């Protein structure tokens, strides 16, 4: 397949490389040229302009930081929608609000194009290892058409419902992720403050009812686990700024249905403060530092 790939950052870079390794012809575009070069070194082609990037593509994938970036890429005067062949399928893997996903799909349908939303879970490790979970929203035919390509970058492809449903499911997941990461940090800090070794406490909770993903594969306590951001001064991984974006999306989603999510709202407040204290670019497991006991 000829694949156009937009946004080769922490996630998109390794995802595009996995598509190259699966034998696809991949043309990449990013605002940051060094990131494009890193993927070209692995066998992709540099796209040049956005319109050149999509020329002849069977599949167009975007992995961008925000709804504004997604709208900027596809829509408006400079939008790339009008340069994409009608037979192509657009897969937006960015985490954005469901309303923007639906609006994009509507604009695309007006010119005969199909879009699915396919945000991902699994982090940078999952992107590198090709073990991501894709959470799709869109027509069944389109999701099935995307499935083999998505399976080149991941291990699970879920169909959550109509366009936008992938984004809703992703936001529910990330709200829960924020809550259990903060809870995990609180428990580890409480144990440490009372004389326990956080590594031993982690092992105990992993075999007990406190077990969760943050403890299993993303331990926030420096030294408790190798090859995770806490072992690397919280560099790389999933930025606090991006978690704040997701928690804002979660709160918008709650308000839209007059729902209740007090734990999500508290997580949003805590991550908001943590980001405002200059930690926005650190991995989200760095929230541990906010929970340290005061002298
Ligand atoms: P990132 O900032 O590392 O990468 C985004 C890339 O998009 C950057 O390289 C940027 O230059 C590029 N970009 C921005 N606007 C562009 C445009 N108009 N055209 C082309 N490129 C453009 O972010 P990331 O961590 O790779 O996250 C990407 C998306 O994946 C976000 O929506 C994020 O919420 C989601 N996500 C991230 C993780 C994670 O662990 N990092 C996990 C799941 C989902």
Of the residues 170, 199, 245, 258, only one is catalytic, namely 170
CATH for 173: 1.10.1040.10
Structural domain harbouring 45: 2-162
Is any atom of ligand 1 closer than 6 Å to the C-beta of 9?
Answer: yes
Is any atom of ligand 1 closer than 6 Å to the C-beta of 12?
Answer: yes
Domain end point (choices 144, 162, 180): 162
Mutational test site, ligand 1, from 5, 8, 12, 214, max ligand atoms within 8 Å of CB: 12
Same-domain check for residues 251 and 114:
no
Number of the ligand 1 atom closest to the C-alpha atom of 29: 20
Same-domain check for residues 272 and 178:
yes
> Is 170 one of the annotated active-site residues of the chain?
yes
Same-domain check for residues 236 and 115:
no
Number of the ligand 1 atom closest to the C-alpha atom of 50: 19
Is any atom of ligand 1 closer than 6 Å to the C-beta of 123?
Answer: yes
Is any atom of ligand 1 closer than 6 Å to the C-beta of 7?
Answer: yes
Q: Of the candidates 42, 43, 96, 44, which has an alpha carbon nearest to the alpha carbon of residue 74?
A: 96
Domain end point (choices 162, 183, 206): 162
Tell me the C-alpha to C-alpha distance, in Å, between residue 54 and each of 93, 124, 206: 16, 25, 46
The one-digit pLDDT tens for each residue of the chain (295 residues) are 999 999 999 999 999 999 999 999 999 999 999 999 999 999 999 999 999 999 999 999 999 999 999 999 999 888 999 999 999 999 999 999 999 999 999 999 999 999 999 999 998 889 999 999 999 999 999 999 999 999 999 999 999 999 999 999 999 999 999 999 999 999 999 999 999 999 999 999 999 999 999 999 999 999 999 999 999 999 988 999 999 999 999 999 999 999 999 999 999 999 999 999 999 999 999 999 999 876 5
Structurally, the chain folds into a number of domains equal to 2
Grouping H, G, I as helix, E, B as strand and the rest as coil, residue 20 is helix
pTM: 0.93
Q: How far is CA 132 from the centre of its chain?
A: 10
Length of the chain, please? 295
Same-domain check for residues 11 and 122:
yes
Same-domain check for residues 172 and 281:
yes
Q: pLDDT by residue (tens digit) across 30-39?
A: 999 999 999 9
């Amino acid at each position: 397949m000829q694949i156009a790939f937009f946004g080769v950052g922490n996630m998109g870079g390794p995802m595009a490389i996995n598509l190259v390794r699966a034998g696809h012809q991949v043309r990449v575009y990013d605002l940051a040229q060094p990131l494009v070069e890193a993927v070209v070194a692995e066998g992709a082609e540099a796209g040049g302009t956005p319109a050149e990037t999509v020329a002849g593509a069977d599949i167009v994938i975007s992995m961008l930081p925000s709804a504004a970036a997604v709208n900027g890429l596809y829509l408006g005067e400079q939008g790339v929608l009008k340069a994409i062949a009608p037979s192509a399928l657009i897969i937006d893997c960015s985490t954005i609000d469901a309303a923007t996903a639906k609006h994009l799909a509507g604009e695309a349908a007006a010119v005969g194009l199909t879009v699915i939303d396919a945000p991902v879970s699994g982090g940078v490790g999952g992107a590198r290892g090709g073990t991501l979970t894709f959470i799709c929203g869109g027509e069944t035919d389109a999701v099935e058409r995307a499935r083999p390509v998505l399976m080149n970058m991941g291990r699970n492809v879920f169909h959550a419902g109509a366009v936008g449903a992938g984004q809703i499911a992703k936001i529910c997941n990330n709200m829960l992720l924020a809550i259990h990461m903060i809870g995990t940090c609180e428990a580890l800090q409480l144990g440490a403050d009372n004389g326990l070794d956080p590594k031993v406490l982690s092992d105990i909770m992993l075999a007990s009812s406190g077990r969760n993903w943050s403890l299993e594969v993303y331990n926030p306590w420096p030294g408790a686990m190798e090859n995770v951001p806490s072992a690397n001064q919280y560099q790389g991984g999933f930025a606090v700024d991006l978690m704040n974006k997701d928690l804002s999306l979660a709160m918008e989603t709650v308000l839209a249905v007059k729902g209740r999510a007090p734990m999500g709202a508290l997580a949003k407040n805590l991550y908001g403060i943590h980001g405002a204290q200059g930690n926005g670019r650190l991995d989200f497991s760095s929230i541990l530092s906010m929970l340290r006991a005061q002298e």
